[in-house]
Amino acid sequence: MGELTGFLQLTGARKGRKTILKESYSEGAFKLTRPLYLTQTGEAYFYIMNPGGGYVDGDSYRMKIFLEDAAVAVLTTQSSTKIYKTKSKPAYQEMDIYLKSGSVLEYLPDPVIAYQDACFKQNMVVRMEPDSSFLCSDIITPGWAPDGSWFQYDLVQSKVKIYMGERIVLFDHVKLEPDVDTTGIGIMEGFTHFGTILVIDSRIDSAFVEGLQERLELMSAVRIGLSILAVPGFALRVLANSTQAIEAILSLCHEIVRTNLFKIEPVFLRKY
Amino acid sequence: MNNQLLTLLQIGDSNFPSGAFSHSFGLETYIQDGTVHNQETFFHWLRIYLEKQLVYTDGLAFRLTFDHLADNHLTEIWQLDQTLYVQNLPIETRQANRRIGERFIKMGIDLYSIPLLEQYLAKIREGEAYGHPAIVFAMISDDLKIDRDEAMVTFLYSTITSLVQNGVRGIPLGQTAGQRMLVEIQPYVWKAMERIKCLEREDFGAVAPGLEIAQMRHERLHVRLFMS
């Protein structure tokens, strides 16, 4: 890959009760806030800023996140990732995450909005110790086209690979490439917005997933799929008709994970 | 004409005891919520399942296995086996492929005594592999010197045939409607094979959101004819 549009690297380390920013470096169109402490439990909150305003032709972004032993961090964005016309070369985002023993990372970015003729690929690779925890969410929404229709983007592709040691423990590959079938059965099922939350944590068992399922069953006007993974963890998928509806599901899920699993107070990151 | 045709007919037969008849791969969820209720809606589901899931997962895995065997890259096949398992997020379809894969390996060993299948089974027993029908079908076909593309189209068609039979039982539809669907789907199966030939390794594992959610929701159905 040629020159990056934005690069960001951060290392979080545990110091006493608190997680501190041990090292950070950014370049181009990525900026990182100083760590904030929104709760009493000492986890660090980082906001990624992209002053550029949106991704266009050939933009490429890269992030590297390291959490040292027992570091606990929450990473989010300050606004949605908007993908505009990318006719000649797709916009690309790559993220490498390294989680050492006992560390916890929550990555909860704002939605990706793909406008007309947008082509966006994101790749995440996580290398984690079996006793570290990882949570990430992803929301893909179609932007309005000038003629008022949805799904005028060309491609949104999102890949997540999670490794423990040399072994792959999760591979998620979502590829939305709108065609005549997209809105219907098997793909969007009549919905417009799509969201995912993946959680890997050694304490997750079928009883936890069952409990989560019961709470989620009360949500209406959305379609949710939830299943336990090949390693302790779960994947939740949701189809809905608005960003708010997806965010409501994902924050409920996030809250339950924090309260019942991580045993820390819930936190509300979104700006609605 | 040669005996490879008969071999393909045998291992591609939906009566071949791999256990595929117990699995609907999410179809039953659509039947219960009423989305799939007649020949037309079933055909639509089937085509989407073929074009948006099968092609990128089992189909591409089949071709990659064949190609890796030609290059003698066994390590890559074992990695593919692991990736197939962990990319299958719904537990029921993940277990379905593992079970069908393992039964297929055992049948393959009994029928053709293929050393590579013995190795595959040993890896499963050691917890280093899981088993997947696409890999096994490709290994058997390769060992018996069957043409890659003929084997691939048979594999796809065989998967589709099992699903049609399950749909005929589950919806239910008449046997003639089922057979008519098998005629109609054939050009799509050929197209799917041509598509798989053009795919890159990077295309592997793409999922269709709705199909996958239905496969997850199958766990919650109260009355079930199928295990997935």
Taking a C-beta distance cutoff of 8 angstroms, is the pair A80, A113 a contact?
Answer: yes
pLDDT score for B44: 98
State the residue for tokens 């006493």: A16
Q: Which of B82, B69, B159, B160 is nearest to B116 (CA)?
A: B69
The pTM (predicted TM-score) of the whole model is: 0.96
CA A249 to chain centre: 14
Categorize the per-residue pLDDT at B19 as very low, low, confident or very high, splitting at 50, 70 and 90: confident
The residue that leads in pLDDT, B171 or A88, is: B171
Tell me whether residues A173 and B208 touch, CB distance under 8 A: no
Q: How many CA atoms lie within 13 A of B127 on its CB side?
A: 2
pLDDT score for A272: 42
Chain A nearest-CA distance from B87, in A, is 5
Give first-to-last CA distance, chain B, whole Å: 38
Considering only CA atoms, give the Rg of chain A: 18
**Lowest model confidence (mean pLDDT) among A80-84, A142-146, A238-242, B26-30:** A142-146
Tell me whether residues B217 and A171 touch, CB distance under 8 A: no
Q: Which positions 145-164 of A are in contact with B (Cβ < 8 Å)?
A: 157
Q: Phi, psi (5° rounding) for residue B212?
A: -70, -40
Is A136 in CB contact (< 8 Å) with chain B? no
**Lowest model confidence (mean pLDDT) among A147-161, B177-191, B195-209:** A147-161
Is A219 in CB contact (< 8 Å) with chain B? no
**Lowest model confidence (mean pLDDT) among A3-7, A126-130, B54-58:** A3-7
Q: Which of B50, B55, B81, B86 to mutate to test the interface with A (most CBs of A within 10 A)?
A: B86
Average pLDDT over residues B127-151: 97
Is B76 in CB contact (< 8 Å) with chain A? no
Average pLDDT over residues A132-139: 98
Tell me whether residues B86 and A185 touch, CB distance under 8 A: no
Which residues on chain A are in Cβ contact (under 8 Å) with B53?
186
Give first-to-last CA distance, chain A, whole Å: 37
- The full length of chain B comes to 228
Q: What letters, b where the CB count within 10 A reaches 16 and e where it falls short, cover A236-263?
A: bbbbbeebebbbbbbbbbbebbbeebbe
Average pLDDT over residues A255-265: 93
Tell me whether residues A225 and B213 touch, CB distance under 8 A: yes
In chain A, % of residues over pLDDT 90: 84
pLDDT score for A147: 83
Is B89 in CB contact (< 8 Å) with chain A? yes
Q: Which of A241, A206, A237, A205 is nearest to A224 (CA)?
A: A237
Is A205 in CB contact (< 8 Å) with chain B? no
Cβ-based neighbours of A255, under 8 Å, separated by 6 or more: A266
Which residues on chain B are in Cβ contact (under 8 Å) with A170?
86-87
Categorize the per-residue pLDDT at A218 as very low, low, confident or very high, splitting at 50, 70 and 90: confident
Taking the C-alpha atoms of residue B52 and residue B192, their distance in angstroms, rounded to an integer, is 10
Residue A97 structure tokens:
């995450």
In chain B, % of residues over pLDDT 70: 99
- DSSP per-residue letters across chain A: --S-SEEEEEEEEEETTEEEEEEEEEEET-EEPPPB--STT--EEEEEE-TT-SB-TT-EEEEEEEE-TT-EEEEEESS-EEE---SSS-EEEEEEEEE-TT-EEEEEPPPEEE-TT-EEEEEEEEEE-TTSEEEEEEEEEEPPPTTS-S---SEEEEEEEEEETTEEEEEEEEEE---TTTTSTTTTTT--EEEEEEEE-TT--HHHHHHHHHHHTT--SSEEEEEE-SSSEEEEEEEESSHHHHHHHHHHHHHHIIIIII-S--------
pLDDT score for A220: 84
Q: What is the mean pLDDT of chain B?
A: 96
> Please, what sign has the CA dihedral across residues B20, A236, A107, A257?
negative
pLDDT score for A167: 96
Taking a C-beta distance cutoff of 8 angstroms, is the pair A174, A140 a contact?
Answer: yes
Taking the C-alpha atoms of residue A143 and residue B32, their distance in angstroms, rounded to an integer, is 33
Cα A33 to Cα A50, A110, A179, A243, B118, distances in angstroms: 11, 16, 39, 25, 56
In chain A, % of residues over pLDDT 70: 98
Q: Phi, psi (5° rounding) for residue A21?
A: -85, 105
Q: What is the mean pLDDT of chain A?
A: 94
* Phi-psi region at B39: left, alpha or beta (left = phi > 0; alpha = psi -120 to 50): alpha
Q: Which of A173, A198, A212, A224 to mutate to test the interface with B (most CBs of B within 10 A)?
A: A173
Residue A18 structure tokens:
């608190």
Q: Which residues pair with A104 in a beta bridge?
A: A72, A133
Task: List the A119-128 sheet strands across, edge first.
Answer: A18-28, A6-15, A60-67, A91-99, A119-128, A155-164, A167-176
